[in-house]
Structure 1
């Protein structure tokens, strides 16, 4: 896994530089630089606008007492989109603009959550509980409060003492 990441961090910038040089040779240096700056400016504005919407969805989910898992991952994808859009290069810009598509981000978020969490109506998704039935997040049971400490075993009041 570490070798793949290292390879990605070495190969991706080389491919980006190759594309920048090739496109710069076709359309010119100034238009290429202008295009890279334009994608960064437009992308940052789109990320900012969509980020405000995600923040509102997180607040709404919290106000309803729900875990904002999908909106949080949506926000993380927006952060990644912003990073891609601010990084000079055409491949990173394409990935960044892809992550600006809300439906795609939400599908990615749900796919990631489905790998780690059982999605049910109570936690932002739809699915089945761990025992096959619908799971609304409620745990049923009985409890009894013991307020008198004398009926608990301890060093001074052992239950196994012979009197």
Structure 2
């Protein structure tokens, strides 16, 4: 995976420069610079708006006690998309808008969920540190997203189950009397 990031860091600037030059030859130099500035301004406005919406949705899910899976994914996508939008270039802007726009973000969220699910399942299947049992892999019997089932009713059940021998009998005593 590290070699893929290194390759992207080398190729993306080359592709961006090539596309900027091609667009500049078609529409001219100053209009190309103006288009890049307008895209950046539009991206900044969109990031601010969608970032606020994602933050509000995340806070709402915490207040209602709901597991914020979708909200966290949306926040991550807005963050990644914002970074891409603020990077000068047309190719990164296309991906940035795809991650940030509210009508394309569900597609990006599904792709991100599938990618992360495969990565975590692969880690669990390889037995690296027992991640399969703690993150909802095959050992935990988790539910929901493959590789992220550690939040369901079977969460954390990869270890031995308590038996009747492990139960301590007693009663709960309230330290303060009711008022």
TM-score (norm 1): 0.70
- Indicate conservation of the 8 Å contact 1:87/1:93, yes or no: yes
Q: 1:98 to 1:60 in 2, by over 3 A?
A: same
Is 2:116 the counterpart of 1:103? no
How far 1:57 moved relative to its partner? 1.4
Secondary structure of 1:67's match?
coil
How far 1:42 moved relative to its partner? 0.7
Question: Greater Rg, structure 1 or structure 2?
Answer: 1
How far 1:106 moved relative to its partner? 3.1
Counterparts of 2:16 and 2:47, CA distance in 1: 22
Aligned to 1:144: 168
- Indicate conservation of the 8 Å contact 2:40/2:86, yes or no: yes
How far 1:70 moved relative to its partner? 2.3
Let me know the Cα RMSD of the aligned residues. Answer: 3.2
Counterparts of 2:85 and 2:110, CA distance in 1: 20
**Which structure exhibits the higher relative contact order, with contacts defined as CA atoms closer than 8 Å and separated by 6 or more residues?**
1
- Paired residues, number: 139
Is 2:87 the counterpart of 1:63? no
How far 1:8 moved relative to its partner? 1.4
Counterparts of 2:52 and 2:109, CA distance in 1: 16
Counterparts of 1:48 and 1:72, CA distance in 2: 16
Ranges in structure 1 where 5+ consecutive residues have no aligned partner: 148-163
TM-score (norm 2): 0.64
- Indicate conservation of the 8 Å contact 1:69/1:124, yes or no: no
